[in-house]
Amino acid sequence: MGWSVLYTLLSLLELLILARVILSWVVSPHSRHPVVQLIRSVTDVVLEPIRSVLPRTGMFDLSPMVAFLVISLLQSLISGMR
């Protein structure tokens, strides 16, 4: 049962990262809305370390794509362990 919970948490993290990407297109980067701040605080834990390793690409942030790839890899590993 533990692997199922981890798989579900990774799926939730994927959704939150996707929500953050979409919000970055439509909401001010300085928004103080509580939902926006919650999504940012949860996803920053994953995205900030990736950003610190990736080279700067101007206005494009590639960290969500890298995070999706890593999460997908982890989910594949978890699926193989079930």
Please say if the pLDDT value at position 1 is more than 70.
no
pTM of the model: 0.90
CB of 71 within 8 A of CB of 14?
yes
In three-state secondary structure terms, 60 is coil
pLDDT tens per residue, range 18-61 = 999 999 999 988 899 999 999 999 999 999 999 999 988 888 89
Give residue 80's pLDDT band: very low, low, confident or very high (50, 70, 90): confident
Total H helices, total E strands in the chain: 3, 0
In three-state secondary structure terms, 24 is helix
- Per-residue pLDDT at 81: 81
61 burial type by CB count under 10 A (0-12 exposed, 13-18 middle, 19+ buried):
middle
Name the token pair of 73. Answer: 């890899």
